[in-house]
């Protein structure tokens, strides 16, 4: 993800999205309703910068990152962003991230 480079504590250039995920993996994904916030249906978002969001969900003790929304400038979700949340909720419900298949027909 070009454009998300920043310097870490040691002065190394790192990708901010991956850096944030690695930080939470080490320190825990604590829902604080600011940086990590529920979006409904078991889906959560992690704020990156002020306008971008990592969208995913928890599976037992793991956070599964599914997609990324860029340029979320307004507080309310747009219609297409609400659809992304619904799609991620369906992936969670159907456990499609574990097989990569559509489990709807099972």
Contact indicator for 103, 96 with CB cutoff of 8 Å:
yes
- The pLDDT confidence band at residue 86, using thresholds 50, 70 and 90, is very high
Looking at residue 84, what is its pLDDT? 92
What is the largest distance, in Å, between two alpha-carbon atoms of the chain?
Answer: 50
**What single DSSP character describes residue 74?**
S
Structure pTM?
0.75
Helices (H), the chain: 16-27, 79-94, 96-99
User: Is the confidence at residue 105, as pLDDT, over 50?
Assistant: no
How large is the average pLDDT for residues 11-30? 80
User: Is the confidence at residue 69, as pLDDT, over 50?
Assistant: yes
């Amino acid at each position: 993800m070009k454009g998300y480079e920043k310097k870490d504590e040691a002065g190394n250039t790192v990708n901010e999205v991956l850096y944030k995920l690695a930080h939470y993996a080490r320190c825990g994904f604590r829902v604080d309703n600011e940086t990590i916030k529920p979006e409904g249906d078991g889906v959560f978002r992690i704020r990156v910068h002020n306008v971008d969001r990592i969208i995913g969900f928890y599976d037992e003790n793991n956070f599964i990152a599914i997609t990324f929304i860029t340029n979320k400038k307004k507080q309310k979700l747009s219609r297409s962003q609400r659809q992304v949340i619904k799609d991620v909720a369906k992936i969670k419900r159907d456990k499609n991230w574990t097989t990569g298949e559509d489990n709807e027909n099972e």
